[in-house]
Amino acid sequence: MAQAKKFNPLLWVVALVIINGAWYSVAGGEAKHEINDQEHSTEDRTIEISSVFGLDKEISVTFSVQFFKVSSNSDNASWKITDEKGKLIANWQGSIDQVQGWEGELSPGTYIINTTMDEGLLTEQNLYIKPFENLRLEGHLLLSLGLIILAFLEPIVKKNVAKIIPKQYPQTPKLKKNPFKTNDEGMPENDQIHDNDDPWRSPTID
């Protein structure tokens, strides 16, 4: 019986690196939500921040804002983010030549982005959401722990499977055949003795 393959820790180390590298890339991904663009702008925009896996954990966001002067002598603008209860989360007010964006965290829920600007100004606003950023550490721990458990269970599973298979599918001994000899066993028509094969036949005289 062939022996089971030995446990190879190097393969599991490689798998651990690959799976954590994949999670690192996924956790850093972001989703873009367009708030306003230069052709379609509104003063109030309502957005919904959904929870991840049903958790109430805060989600990392980046609010990107740009104002453009088209035909105006003034350059004043402002924006603010409030929750559904009217609580102020973040705001900005000043000249469009100043830094206008914001980075922070928002809990799952409904938010309103209010934008005001002088006539002759246009704006482009986008909210970038990283839903898995704040779950990065938990993801690494769970994936690593799951892979380690699987590595320890693999030899046990293989050993049990190796015991079950011979019982369900018993092997029958194979008949070795001579490739240079015709096998006539089990053929009644070839078991009869022909006249020339009679052991009591008369000797042949030349």
32-75 tens-digit pLDDT: 999 998 888 888 999 999 888 888 889 999 999 999 888 777 78
Structure tokens given for 163: 């015991």
- Backbone φ and ψ for 114, nearest 5 degrees, come out as -105, 130
pTM of model > 0.75:
no
- pLDDT band of 2, cuts 50, 70, 90: very low
pLDDT of 201 strictly over 70: no
DSSP run (H or E) holding 138: helix 136-168
Q: Which residue has the tokens 């102020």?
A: 88
Tell me which amino acid residue 89 is.
Answer: I
From CA 96, how far away is CA 76, in angstroms rounded?
6
Domains in the chain, please, with CATH?
29-137 (2.60.120)
